[in-house]
A and B are shown apart, each in its own frame.
Chain A
Amino acid sequence: MESSSTEQTRNVMQSPRSPSSQPYLSASVTDPVKLGNGVQAYISYRVITKTNLPEYQGPEKIVIRRYSDFVWLRDRLFDKYKGVFVPPLPEKSAVEKFRFSAEFIEMRRAALDIFVNRIASHPELQQSEDLRTFLQADEETMERFRFQETGIFNKKPADFMQMFRDVQSKVSDAVLGKEKPVEETTPEYEKLKHYIFELENHLAEAQKHAYRLVKRHRELGQSLLDFGKAVKLLGACEGEPTGKLFSDLGTKSELVSIKLQKEAQQVLMNFEEPLKDYVRYVQSIKATIAERATAFKQHCELAETTKLKEINLDKLMLTRSDKVGEAEIEYREMKAESEEATIRFERIVKRMNEEIVRFQEQKTEEMGVAFHQFAKGQARLANGIADAWRALLPKLEAASSA
């Protein structure tokens, strides 16, 4: 998948088994381990990177990372690659007692693995220096980076300038009597925005029912287990042949119950989780839409301000004021800023256009896989259940015709 952005890109493969001349980068997140005690306890993961890219320190590297490191990486990418749909992370918070359950940990690990791999296979993101830091830096360095970024007082100089300009532009708006919000209104983009917002609603509903379905599997399994136990006890009260039949019925019931519990877990991991991931992705796109709106606003306002400065400069030049020099410098600076803002905005637009194609294709593929696995799983479950119960029929037939 090649992107024609201004940076040079390579067609980097995921698989290390491809011919060694082909560049590849792959990562996996494995071996969750609980570290620390009490409130400070957390899970750490091994991140294994395999690559032949020259920017990396060798063909294989293993580092230890925790969830907040992944958050750091995502924040950095989101900041630096505006317009790209940065892959989403699994949810941060979780109910306390659930946080260390085997199920939750495994789901999180799988989601983090997908996260890293998506980044590694993204034509722009895979070039990121922050990614390299994430995949290679030792734990101390990583911790330092992480702490630097999470404080609210760690704003870069650029951010202050931005805040200043925001105030400025509001003032100029007021002065110029322009109170209305500045927004893109091209029909295509409107359509996209509408699509994304609606999609989230639909997906959230589907995901909700998928989650409930998992619960239903578990509940049905539980009720069959209880039913099996009850009829076994009932069988103990009855003489033969009914007693034995009840006992067999109870045993089968318990067996079917186990199948249901297993399938519940499969549905959770292979169907509900992909749906949840889809929802997260859409939410990430919404964040990107917000970024684009901000960029657009900046671009518009700086263009306005630049124009004003130009008008002002012309005025001063006419009056041969001694402030001309100053004004000229200001004008040039403002013009440069404005051009930068425009470039930023246009880059976002370009990225988004590419990203949306990629996103749709990726999602069709991923959901297709999820649907297929779900259908297969349900078919297997039903077959297993039919086989289990069917085994009882010869005995039941024999008994009732006797």
Chain B
Amino acid sequence: MMGSENADGFEETNLNVPKEEMENLVLNGDGAGDGTGDSSNSAYRSAMSTLSNVHDPLSPLPTVLTPANSDPLTAPSSYIEPPSYADVIFSPFDETSDSEINGGEDSSLSPDSLSRSPSSSSSDYIKITVSNPQKEQETSNSIVGGNTYITYQITTRTNLPDFGVSESSVRRRFRDVVTLADRLAESYRGFCIPPRPDKSVVESQVMQKQEFVEQRRVALEKYLRRLSAHPVIRKSDELKVFLQVQGKLPLPMSTDVASRMLDGAVKLPKQLFGEGGASAVPVHEVVQPARGGRDLLRLFKELRQSVSNDWGGSKPAVVEEDKEFLEKKEKMLDLEQQIINSSQQAESLVKAQQDMGETMGELGLAFIKLTKFENEEAVFNSQRTRATDMKNLATAAVKASRFYRELNSQTVKHLDTLHEYLGMMMAVQGAFADRSSALLTVQTLLSELSSLQARAEKLEAASSKVFGGDKSRIRKIEELKETIKVTEDAKNVAIREYERIKDNNRSEVERLDGERRADFMNMMKGFVVNQVGYAEKISNVWAKAAEETSQYDREKQSS
């Protein structure tokens, strides 16, 4: 599906635009006609200000993407069916071809078939769209009526066998997304899970405003696409349920064990103990990080443990690989810092390109006005000549201005990779945090074990001094030994969990490193190809103007 030709005969190739909204920007910008394109400019500026918020890397750039005056509450969102990736043939760099101007492969994390992971086949395909926001009312028994909230239509098209159906569509609200994110965090500890869009602390009035809703729609879409791009998470039950099960989302708010989808490792303790288990708290619950309000006792214990760790109190048994891990963590932090820095500079660059295009356009306009003026008021031929010269200059300036603006929208697309990876760095931090908290659990259990054993020893020593046995003490020792056994088992489960998370960490970080390298290379290529292409176009425009004013070339003339 080749793109449309605009008035300049410049073919806009839409080959590889999963962000199909970008087409709207380019077309709209062109449609502005006289080159000022105010609406796209101001939308872009607001995008720029959201971009500068690095703590919310998913806060969308794509404010610019939708025409500013469309109402997402009433109109369907701008959804253009992208071409099938199977149709994409990357053309080798060619002086005359325009396709490279859009960059070869898309630089952003593409959820579509060109997955870089070697394990998935090239025909895997999953495409999620979020659209059609609608106001709904909470059913409530109160006289006042329930709160209103927004739901979004989430459509999935896929050929993955896990999914069963090739197309499904559900309605979800933001709260459901939060739940999904929480469930995934529990089930996939150690994984680099893409961070979800922020909850926004704003008034309900703002929540209804179309700009906010649109921002959120885009953010949700990005988030879900990222999830479906993750080779492991895309196969998760949580995601499947979210995407396919109609009606209210069945993922529970509380972590009620009975209705949870159980992951492999968590199934193990159940197999060990059967239903119910010997202890009041199921062992597999123990290996989950302590959650505030639910397990205060455990929380206090772990807090004490981590404090004693800091003070170099009890030396935990599991420590050897920490050094390598710490180095990796350091490196990741450093990388994150540099990505932040680069993405900030990328923003400045984009703004500077934007400004250049804008001012060039304004210059062109000023000269068009002058041309008109001189022609209207002309008394002498010299004025008419000057008017023609000005017109040539103005035309070139306006054309160049358009090219700068197009260049910029492409640049944004490519350099957006940097912003994307800010989000992924957060995911990495999350994975590392999972590992640390799993380690903390192990250490807590170890020290708990050792203190229990110490108590048991003390009791035995005291009891052996009493001739004939100490019934109450012996009973206590028996109970203690039970507790020790359960704790011992829990410790083993925790260690296994820790090891599992470490493995997840390792493979995830490796996967991400590979993906990141590939994505960055694509970003660089796309950026450079873009710069080359547009520089050539701009050069041609000015060469023509120079040609048209060549009679004024004084360098060649001898004085």
Contacts and interface: CB of A to CB of B under 8 A. Distances in A.
User: Size band of the A side of the interface?
Assistant: 35 or more
A360 B380 contact: yes
A202 B363 CA distance: 11
A242 B421 CA distance: 15
Contacts of B370: 202-203, 206
A84 interface: no
A223 B352 contact: yes
B551 interface: yes
B522 A216 contact: no
A104 interface: no
B524 interface: yes
B299 interface: no
B525 A231 contact: no
Contacts of B386: 360, 363-364, 367-368
11 contacts: A191-B377, A198-B377, A205-B366, A224-B352, A241-B521, A242-B520, A375-B396, A375-B543, A376-B553, A390-B532, A399-B521
A128 B86 CA distance: 81
Contact of A223 (B351, B545, B553): B351
Contacts of B524: 245-246, 249, 392, 396
Contact of B342 (A223, A227, A367, A371): A227
Interface in B343-381: 344-346, 348-349, 351-353, 355-356, 359-360, 362-363, 366-367, 369-370, 373, 377, 379-380
Interface stretch (A47-55, A60-68, A111-119, A232-240): A232-240
A234 B93 contact: no
B345 A226 contact: yes
Interface string B524-559: 110111011001101100110110011111100001
A206 B382 CA distance: 19
A225 to B, nearest CB: 9
A220 B382 contact: no
A70 to B, nearest CB: 24
Interface of B: 92-93, 104-105, 331, 334-335, 338-339, 341-342, 344-346, 348-349, 351-353, 355-356, 359-360, 362-363, 366-367, 369-370, 373, 377, 379-380, 382-383, 385-386, 389-390, 392-393, 396, 400, 513, 516-518, 520-522, 524-525, 527-529, 531-532, 535-536, 538-539, 542-543, 545-546, 549-554, 559
Nearest to A248: B524
Interface string A234-262: 10111101100110010000000000000
Nearest to A249: B524
B536 to A, nearest CB: 5
Contacts of A227: 342, 345-346, 348-349
Given A219-B352, A234-B341, A379 B528 contact: no
Contacts of A242: 517, 520-521
B353 A220 contact: yes
B349 A223 contact: yes
Nearest to B538: A382
A292 interface: no
A389 B530 CA distance: 9
Contacts of A234: 335, 338-339, 341-342
A400 interface: yes
Nearest 9 A/B pairs, CB to CB: A382-B539, A386-B535, A368-B552, A379-B542, A375-B545, A372-B549, A375-B546, A209-B363, A223-B352
A154 interface: no
Contacts of B334: 237
A209 B35 CA distance: 15
Given A245-B521, A382-B535, A219 B355 contact: yes
A171 interface: no
Contacts of A198: 373, 377
Interface in A335-385: 357, 360-361, 363-365, 367-369, 371-372, 374-376, 378-379, 382-383, 385
A386 B352 contact: no
A217 interface: yes
A397 interface: yes
A152 B126 CA distance: 86
A170 to B, nearest CB: 36
A355 to B, nearest CB: 12
A93 B82 CA distance: 60
Nearest to A394: B93
